[in-house]
Structure 1
Amino acid sequence: MKNMQCCVAALSLVMSASAFAQDYPSKLVKIVVPFGAGGIADLTVRTVAQKMSESMKQPIIVENRPGAGGIVAADAVAKASADGYTLLLISNGTAVSAGLFKKLPYDTLKDFTPISTLGFFDLAMIVNKKLPVKNAADLIAYARKNPGKLNIGTINRGSTQNLAAELFVSMAGIDALIVPYKGTPEVITAVTTGELDAAVEILGPTLPQIRAGNLNVIGVTSAKRFSGLPDVPTVGESGLPNYQAASWNGLAAPAGTPKAVIDRLNKEINTAVSNPDIRKRLLELGVVAQGGTPDAAKNLLASDIAKWGGVIEKAKIEKQ
């Protein structure tokens, strides 16, 4: 009798979850973004969310909650109802924070259910036009001939750009100074004027200066070439095999969100990022649209936590 009651209760829960999923979404969906408005991540999620909203026939709003390395936004979503109506924009920055902070108010892997990636965007290795290098191999050779003289700019310590530069210096075995700047505009200006020899920066914001001929781009940091600049090699193929430091965005829900809801959202995301107009718009931002399965997103997050945690330790970046 007791076993039968348990079976009935379990069946009731399954039917209840199924009914909930069939009705989902029945109201506004909110995506919390741990970055300010107008950046690559923000524009990416807004572009995809608009298409999802049209398909799901419910409004999707984006709430920007920057601060504390993404902790403010992530903590809010971790504590939200696990019903699919509050989602979080996750990224490689989410993984970095797991290794950069001594303690987080949530468990990055246990308190969220990744849904899918939205897209990947390259970092670019840019150099001052007067620097006599054409690719990553040249830059490494230059650094070895001039130990301690090469300076590479990035934004703040612990950022993806900064860790990508640290990874490059470590793997290349060169003596170079990594210089943190306040923001991307300052980094680009410093390379353009020659204050910096080189920099590692998100490709999108550098494209106007590259196309205007004010900067030289000697490589992209992902595993594949960026289709918008097909003649620019990857750092891996042009001097440092196995080097990779791509940036990405995705969506996650609070842990415990019904699987049927996760599956519905995953389907909507993949449909949106497969749309030719969406792909074109994202490519203009320097983003290669790419969805995937929830498991793939979870594995990517976990592997990046391990990867960047190791870089942080090796670079002796003080935890906050």
Structure 2
Amino acid sequence: MNFSKTLRGLMLAAGLLSAAFAGSSMAQTFPTKPVTLVVPFAAGGPTDILARTLAASMTKELGQTVVIENRAGAGGTIASAFVAKAPADGYTLLIHHNGMATAPTLYRKLPFNALTDFTYVGLVADVPMTLLGRKDLPPNNMAEFIAYAKAQGNKINLANAGLGAVSQLCGTLLQQALGVGFTAIPYSGTGPAMIALVGGQLDVLCDQTTQTLAQIKAKTVKLYGVTSAERLSYLPDTPTLREGGLKDFEIVVWHGVYGPKNIPAPVAARLNQALKAALKDPAVIAKAGDLGAVIVPEAKQTPEALQAWVKDEIAKWAPLLKAAGQYAD
């Protein structure tokens, strides 16, 4: 018998066993302090509302408070870069939408790699968008809006939450479809933009139903259409933008949860477990429904599904964004 070879084998087995016990122990003890969920937009916006709903349920599952921290700016890249550089211990997470997949094309000097600098936790929900105008904007339907937009051009003010935000992406696609250029008015988030729209300081906003349903129901804004492929059950009389005359126009907002790369596997698994539990919570499902959001199927709630989705979305939007010619340094 080769004693040294046997000894090395025993040491390797002991090391693997020790690592397994350590991993199991880590998963059982995590978390021992509050977890921060970073939102890359202003408080009161659609992603913020969804994040707070999710955080309340994950708090119950994890046994520690999930704290919301808003780090708005640069279409979500400031918050994304912050989380990418945070300690890989599972205590700093990010919730982000389509901006994670559009940033690699929109920003020439992106301070993170969307595919390699994060630990993927899972997809959360899909949210359709709505095209809104201020209450006293002259057009009363989509056909009238198209004619009005083509006549007014850059006299129309279009709000967004900054380069890379889905409101900006929707606005870019809208202008491409119409063949006109509006005057873009960036805000730190669509929460402040909605306040300006309701107040009459802005003309048009394209935003998620999580943010717009309350104002639509209160009739403080004009609703021209929804961006989904089909009409929404909770807005059955509202046509899609396709029906309104914008061929092939479709955009749905998706949200995912991320952490810094190299979070220990047991901790990452615990976070995914907490996310899945939250997405089964009747309170979360009900709140999401009230906001017009749809919880993704369980098969899409995995880290692997989120990573594959981001990769596919980068490839999908890159040619459209390049055609629009909008970049940031």
**TM-score computed with the length of structure 2 as normaliser:** 0.79
Deviations 1:115-149 (A, max 9, x none): 122323222122467655644x77557767x5958
Which of 20, 24, 30 is equivalent to 2:26? Answer: 20
Which of 114, 120, 124 is equivalent to 2:126? Answer: 120
Looking at structure 2, the residues matched to 38 and 213 of structure 1 have their Cα atoms a distance apart, in angstroms, of: 19
What's 2:284 paired with? 278
Shift of 1:6: 4.4
Shift of 1:318: 2.9
What's 1:58 paired with? 64
Shift of 1:242: 4.1
Looking at structure 2, the residues matched to 111 and 130 of structure 1 have their Cα atoms a distance apart, in angstroms, of: 44
Shift of 1:49: 1.2
Q: Residues 241 and 13 (structure 1 numbering): CA distance in 2 closer, same or farther, change over 3 Å?
A: farther
| Contact persistence 1:117–1:290 (CA under 8 A) | yes
Q: Residues 233 and 12 (structure 1 numbering): CA distance in 2 closer, same or farther, change over 3 Å?
A: farther
Which of 246, 253, 260 is equivalent to 2:259? Answer: 253
Q: Residues 314 and 187 (structure 1 numbering): CA distance in 2 closer, same or farther, change over 3 Å?
A: farther
Shift of 1:176: 1.6
Looking at structure 1, the residues matched to 156 and 233 of structure 2 have their Cα atoms a distance apart, in angstroms, of: 28
Q: Residues 313 and 68 (structure 1 numbering): CA distance in 2 closer, same or farther, change over 3 Å?
A: same
Q: Give the letter for the 2:59 counterpart.
A: S
What's 2:319 paired with? 310
| Contact persistence 1:35–1:66 (CA under 8 A) | yes
What's 2:306 paired with? 297
What's 2:238 paired with? 232
What's 2:183 paired with? 179
What's 2:158 paired with? 153
Which of 217, 220, 237 is equivalent to 1:211? Answer: 217
Looking at structure 2, the residues matched to 157 and 56 of structure 1 have their Cα atoms a distance apart, in angstroms, of: 33
Q: Give the letter for the 1:162 counterpart.
A: Q
SS of aligned partner of 2:182: strand
Q: Give the letter for the 1:221 counterpart.
A: T
Looking at structure 2, the residues matched to 79 and 194 of structure 1 have their Cα atoms a distance apart, in angstroms, of: 38
Residue range with higher mean Cα deviation, 87-96 or 146-155:
146-155
| Contact persistence 2:224–2:238 (CA under 8 A) | yes
| Contact persistence 1:127–1:199 (CA under 8 A) | yes
Deviations 1:262-314 (A, max 9, x none): 23322222222222222222333443333622222222222333334333311
| Contact persistence 1:74–1:88 (CA under 8 A) | yes
| Contact persistence 1:32–1:64 (CA under 8 A) | yes
Looking at structure 1, the residues matched to 230 and 90 of structure 2 have their Cα atoms a distance apart, in angstroms, of: 33
Which of 277, 288, 297 is equivalent to 2:294? Answer: 288
Structure 2, unpaired ranges of 5+? none
Looking at structure 1, the residues matched to 303 and 202 of structure 2 have their Cα atoms a distance apart, in angstroms, of: 44
Looking at structure 1, the residues matched to 63 and 148 of structure 2 have their Cα atoms a distance apart, in angstroms, of: 56
SS of aligned partner of 1:27: coil
Q: Give the letter for the 1:155 counterpart.
A: N
**TM-score computed with the length of structure 1 as normaliser:** 0.81
| Contact persistence 1:119–1:288 (CA under 8 A) | yes
Shift of 1:55: 2.2
Which of 220, 224, 229 is equivalent to 2:226? Answer: 220
Aligned residues: 315
Which of 46, 51, 63 is equivalent to 2:52? Answer: 46
Q: Residues 290 and 111 (structure 1 numbering): CA distance in 2 closer, same or farther, change over 3 Å?
A: same
Which of 168, 193, 208 is equivalent to 1:162? Answer: 168
Q: Residues 168 and 67 (structure 1 numbering): CA distance in 2 closer, same or farther, change over 3 Å?
A: closer
Looking at structure 1, the residues matched to 316 and 85 of structure 2 have their Cα atoms a distance apart, in angstroms, of: 27
| Contact persistence 2:160–2:168 (CA under 8 A) | yes
SS of aligned partner of 2:266: helix
Looking at structure 2, the residues matched to 219 and 189 of structure 1 have their Cα atoms a distance apart, in angstroms, of: 20
Q: Give the letter for the 1:296 counterpart.
A: A
Shift of 1:17: 1.9
What's 1:107 paired with? 113
Looking at structure 2, the residues matched to 237 and 295 of structure 1 have their Cα atoms a distance apart, in angstroms, of: 35
Shift of 1:41: 1.6
| Contact persistence 1:118–1:249 (CA under 8 A) | yes
